[in-house]
Chain A
Amino acid sequence: MSNETIQYFKGLYTLSAPDAPALKTFSGKSMDDFSKWGLPGPKHEEWKYARVASLFRNDLKFSVEVPSVSESDIDPFRLPGNGTATELVFVNGLYSQALSVIRHPATDIHALSMEDAARAEYGDFIAQNLGHSASYHPDGIHALNGAFAGKGLFLRVKKGRILEHPIYIYHVTDSRHGFPFAQPRSLVHVEDGAQVQVAEQYINIGGQDSFTNEVIEIVAGLDSVVDYYKIQHEGPLANHVGTTHIRQAGKCLTNSVTITLSGGMVRNNLNMIMESEHGESHMYGLYLLAGKTLADNHTIVDNVKPHCFSNELYKGIMDDESTGVFNGKIFVRKDAQKTNAYQSNKNILLGEKASANTKPQLEIFADDVKCSHGCTVGRLDEEALFYLRARGIGEQNARALLLHAFALDVLANIKHEGLRTYVDALISERLGFNI
C-alpha cells in the first residue's frame, strides 16, 4: 500500500479525532496500527482469497461529513415491521441521528452516537469494551475502522427488558457521486437478562461501486438472549468487509444468522467469544452467489471458559463464476474443559466456473472436549432431480425446490417471522421459482 493512502487517512483522522478520553486512546492506537500494518495482502493467511488492497483505488472517497440522503431514499429498503421496530441509520459509515427513528421507549433502550456516549455516562464502559475484537484481527483494515470509531453508534439494551420488536440497523452508502468508503462502527451492550433481536441491512443507493468496512461489537450480559441477523443484498458492485464480535460476558444465549445474496467482494468475520461458563451459541450462514461475487466467511469460536456449547452451520450455493470461501476456527483454550463445539460447512457448485474454498479449523488445547467439523462440496443430487421430474415438476422448478430446501436449514433459524418471510422471498426470487 502506498504511503499516500496512509497519509490520506491520517489527514482525515486529524480532522475528526475524538476528544473524549475513552475514545481518544483507542482511535489513536488504531490509527498507529493501521500505519504500521498497512492493508493485508494475499500473503496474509487470513486474506488469502479476499483481495482487499485492490479496492483502495485512487477514486475511493472517505469523508467524515454526512452526505445528504433523504428518508425516501431509504424507504424501498426498509425491513418488514418497520412501523414498530427501531431503525438506526448510518450514512456512508457515519451514524445519523436525524434519519434514525427510535420506536422503543427510553426504559428499554438508549441509542446515541459513540462520541456522545463517551462523553456521557458510558465513558467507562466504552473504555473497557470498545476494540475487544482488535486482538483477533491484527490487520490494517480492522485497525482503520477503529481510527474512526467516534463516528459510530452506541446502543444499550437495558437490564431485564425483553424487546418484542427488533432493532434494525441500516447501513446506507451513497454511490451516486463517486466511490464511497464507509466505516460504520457499533458497540452494543445487552445488559443482564435482556432479550433483543438486532438485524443489519445494507443499502447501496445509486448501485455503483461502494465499499463498506464495518465493525460491530456486542457484549451480552448474564442470562441475556441475543439474536443477530446480517442481510447482505446490496447489488454486485457493493464491496464489504465486516466484523461481528459477540462476547458472552455472562452465561447467555447468542445466535447469529448471516445471509449473503449479492456483492462484489464480501468478507464477513464472525467472532463468538465464549468467556463465561455454560454459554451457548448458534451460528448460521447462507451464501447464495452469482456473477463474479466472492463471499468469504471467517468465523472464530473462542472457548475461553469450560462447559460451553456452540453449533455452527454454513451453507453455500455458487453459480456462474462466483467464489465461496469458508474458514471456521474453533479454539479451545487450556481450561475450557467439557467444551462441545460442532461445525459444518456445505457447498453446492452450480456454475462451471464457480469455486468453493473451505477450511474448517480446530485448535484444541484441552483434553476433555467433544469437537467435530465436517464439510462437503458437491452438486445437486441427480436422483433427487429425477424423482421430482418424474412427478411432473419441470427441471427449473425441481432445481429451485432442492436448492430452496438446502437453504431452508439456515433460513429457518431467523426467529422473526416478518424477517424470515422477507429473506425467503429474496431467495425464492433468486432461485427462480415459477409455480
Chain B
Amino acid sequence: MYEENDDILGEVTSSEYKYGFVTDIESDDAPKGLNEDIIRFISAKKKEPGWLLEWRLKAYRHWLTMEEPTWPNVQYPAINYQDVIYYSAPKQKIAPNSLDEIDPELRRTFEKLGISLQEQKRLTGVAVDAVIDSVSIATTFKEELAELGIIFCSMSEAVQEHPELVRKYIGSVVPPTDNYFSALNSAVFTDGSFCFIPAGVRCPMELSTYFRINAANTGQFERTLIVAEAGAYVSYLEGCTAPMRDENQLHAAVVEIVAMEKAEVKYSTVQNWYPGDKDGHGGIYNFVTKRGICQGDYSKISWTQVETGSAITWKYPSVILKGDYSNGEFYSVAVTNNMQQADTGTKMIHLGKHTRSRIVSKGISAGKSNNSYRGLVQVGRNATNARNFSQCDSLLLGDKCGAHTFPYIEVKNNTAVVEHEATTSKIGEDQIFYCNQRGMDTETAVALIINGFAKEVMNQLPMEFAVEAQKLLAISLEGSVG
C-alpha cells in the first residue's frame, strides 16, 4: 500500500499550474527601485490628493527604519526591494466607459481565467473588480449597486470620488506602522478594491475582486478596504493567479474591514498564485496583512480561505472583537505541495464583552513542503465572558513534508472560556482499507478522505466559489487527494 501511495503522490508532483500563461499586453511601468521619487511618481500617476502622498511618504520613511521579520517558519533568499517594479499598468489610451472599450487581449485574459467581465455574468450574480498588475481594469455592476447606495469600485476611483470615506477609514485597521509589509504596502500601494455598504443595506450579490500579476519583475501591492455600516451585510470574494516565471515575485497586500453595529462581512479568498515549479524555482511570495475590526456591538466578521498557491505564504487574517457581542470566524484550508512553504493562521483579539470567536484550520502537506499554523487568541482584561474554540488539524501526505502548529493563547480575564485542539496524522491505512473493501480504488478513497477532511471549511464558501475551490484542491493534489 505504501508503494501505491507513493505512485499516486508521484502524480501529484507532476500536475501543472494551469493559469501560468502570460498575456502579451503593453504596459506602462515605473522604473525599477524604491525611493521617494517613485512614490511621488505613483501618486502623480494616480492624480492623488496631497494628504495621500504625505501619508505614503510617512509610511515609507517609517518602513526604512524597520527590519524584515524573521520569525515566520519559512526560508527564502533575501528580497532586494530595489529590484522590483512598483508600478505597472496595462497601457490603455482612454479610461473605459463600458466594457466594450477594454483591450480585447485583457478581456481574453480574464476569460481564460474563467472570469467573464461581460454582462452575462449577471446570471451568476457576482460583481467583479478585476485588478491586473497594479491597476484595476474593470468593475462590473457598478450602476446596479449604486442604486442601493453601495459603492464598489477600484481604490484609485474611490480616492478621486469619495476621498472623505477613504481618508476616514484607510489605515484605521491596519496602520502603516503595523508591520514591515504593511508599511511597504502603504508607501507603494497602487490599486485595489473599495467597498462601502451603507446602513441597513444587504448587498444583493457577491462582490468579487480578481487579482492577476502579469508583467515580469513587478510586485503587486493592492489595498482593499471594506466598510459595512450599521446593519449592513456583504459577502466578498477574492481570487488570485499569476503567470509561471522563474524569478520570485512579491505580493504584499493589505485588506482592511470595518464592521459597525450589527453589520456582517464575510470575506472569502481562493488564493492560487503561481506556487513555483517542482524544484522550488519561481513562485509568488505572498506576504499579506488582513485584518477586520468588529467596531460595533453584535457585528460579525468571517474569514474563509483556501490557500493552494504561492511559493511562500505569510498571512494571518485577524479580527479585533471590539464591540460587545461581536463575533469573529476563521476557516482555512491550506494545501502545500512540492517546495511550497506556508505560515498562516489567524488572530482573534477579544476586547468587548460577550465576544465569540471560532477557528477551524485544516492543513494538508505533500511533497517537500512545510505547512505551519500560527494563531493568537487574546482575551483582554475587560472582555468578560469571551468564548473561543479553535481546532487545527494537519494531514501529512508523504514523508518529506512537515506540519507545524504554533497556537498562542493569552487570557487575562477569568470569565473567558478558551479551547484549542489540534491533531496531526496521515491518512490511516485502516481507513483506506475500509474504502478498498467496499470497492473503491485507493485514489478515490484518498480523495474521499481529503474531501471529508476539508469539508467543514469548504461548506463556508459561497456557492459560486465552492466549485472553484473544490477543483483547485483537486488540481493541487491531483491523484492522491481528489
* Chain A residues packing against B (C-beta within 8 Å): 45, 334, 337, 347, 349-379
Residue interface mask B398-431, A partner, CB < 8 A = 1: 1111111111111111111111111111100000
A48 to B105, CA, bound (A): 54
- Residues in B with CB closer than 8 Å to A351 are 414
Q: Are A364 and B396 in contact (CB under 8 A)?
A: yes
Tell whether A360 pairs with B407 under 8 Å between CB atoms, given A334-B399, A371-B425, A375-B420.
yes
Tell whether A366 pairs with B399 under 8 Å between CB atoms, given A371-B423, A372-B424.
yes
- Residues in A with CB closer than 8 Å to B414 are 349-352, 354, 379
Q: Say yes or no for B381: interface residue by CB 8 A criterion.
A: yes
Tell whether A375 pairs with B396 under 8 Å between CB atoms, given A369-B424, A370-B425.
no
Closest Cβ neighbor of A352 among chain B residues: B414
Tell whether A372 pairs with B423 under 8 Å between CB atoms, given A349-B411, A364-B394.
yes
Q: Say yes or no for B339: interface residue by CB 8 A criterion.
A: no
B188 to chain A, nearest CB (A): 28
Q: Are A362 and B416 in contact (CB under 8 A)?
A: no
- Residues in A with CB closer than 8 Å to B398 are 367
A212 to B398, CA, bound (A): 46
- Residues in A with CB closer than 8 Å to B424 are 362, 364, 369-372
Q: Are A357 and B410 in contact (CB under 8 A)?
A: yes
A220 to B397, CA, bound (A): 34
- Residues in A with CB closer than 8 Å to B426 are 367-369
Residue interface mask B19-37, A partner, CB < 8 A = 1: 0000000000000000000
* Chain B residues packing against A (C-beta within 8 Å): 71, 379, 381, 394, 396-426
Q: Are A359 and B408 in contact (CB under 8 A)?
A: yes
Q: Are A376 and B419 in contact (CB under 8 A)?
A: yes
A371 to B363, CA, bound (A): 14
B472 to chain A, nearest CB (A): 23
Q: Are B411 and A369 in contact (CB under 8 A)?
A: no
A371 to B392, CA, bound (A): 12
| Interchain Cβ contacts under 8 Å between A and B, 9 examples | A356-B411, A360-B420, A362-B405, A362-B424, A364-B396, A367-B396, A375-B421, A376-B419, A379-B416
A351 to B416, CA, bound (A): 12
Q: Are A367 and B405 in contact (CB under 8 A)?
A: no
A431 to B110, CA, bound (A): 67
Closest Cβ neighbor of B379 among chain A residues: A377
Q: Are B421 and A373 in contact (CB under 8 A)?
A: yes
- Residues in B with CB closer than 8 Å to A379 are 414-417
B219 to chain A, nearest CB (A): 29
Closest Cβ neighbor of B71 among chain A residues: A45
A256 to chain B, nearest CB (A): 23
B458 to chain A, nearest CB (A): 23
- Residues in B with CB closer than 8 Å to A376 are 417-420
- Residues in B with CB closer than 8 Å to A361 are 404-407
A172 to chain B, nearest CB (A): 35
Closest Cβ neighbor of A339 among chain B residues: B424
- Residues in B with CB closer than 8 Å to A377 are 379, 409, 411, 416-419
A308 to chain B, nearest CB (A): 15
- Residues in B with CB closer than 8 Å to A366 are 396, 399
Closest Cβ neighbor of A343 among chain B residues: B422
B446 to chain A, nearest CB (A): 13
A302 to chain B, nearest CB (A): 14
A358 to B422, CA, bound (A): 14
- Residues in B with CB closer than 8 Å to A368 are 399, 426
- Residues in A with CB closer than 8 Å to B425 are 369-371
- Residues in A with CB closer than 8 Å to B417 are 376-379
Closest Cβ neighbor of A344 among chain B residues: B421
B328 to chain A, nearest CB (A): 17
A363 to B406, CA, bound (A): 9
A356 to B411, CA, bound (A): 5
- Residues in A with CB closer than 8 Å to B399 are 334, 337, 366-368
- Residues in B with CB closer than 8 Å to A357 are 408-411
- Residues in A with CB closer than 8 Å to B397 are 367
- Residues in B with CB closer than 8 Å to A353 are 381, 412
A372 to B422, CA, bound (A): 5
Q: Are A362 and B422 in contact (CB under 8 A)?
A: yes
Closest Cβ neighbor of A325 among chain B residues: B410
- Residues in A with CB closer than 8 Å to B396 are 364, 366-367, 369
Q: Are B405 and A360 in contact (CB under 8 A)?
A: yes
A238 to B466, CA, bound (A): 57
A411 to chain B, nearest CB (A): 23
A299 to chain B, nearest CB (A): 15
- Residues in B with CB closer than 8 Å to A349 are 411, 413-414, 416
Closest Cβ neighbor of B424 among chain A residues: A371
Q: Are A359 and B412 in contact (CB under 8 A)?
A: no
Of the candidates B379, B419, B424, the one having the most CB atoms from chain A within 10 angstroms of its own CB is B424
Give me 4 other A-B pairs in contact (C-beta within 8 A), A353-B412, A367-B397, A377-B418 excluded.
A347-B411, A359-B406, A361-B405, A363-B404
Contact of B407 among A356, A359, A370 (CB under 8 A): A359
A196 to chain B, nearest CB (A): 34
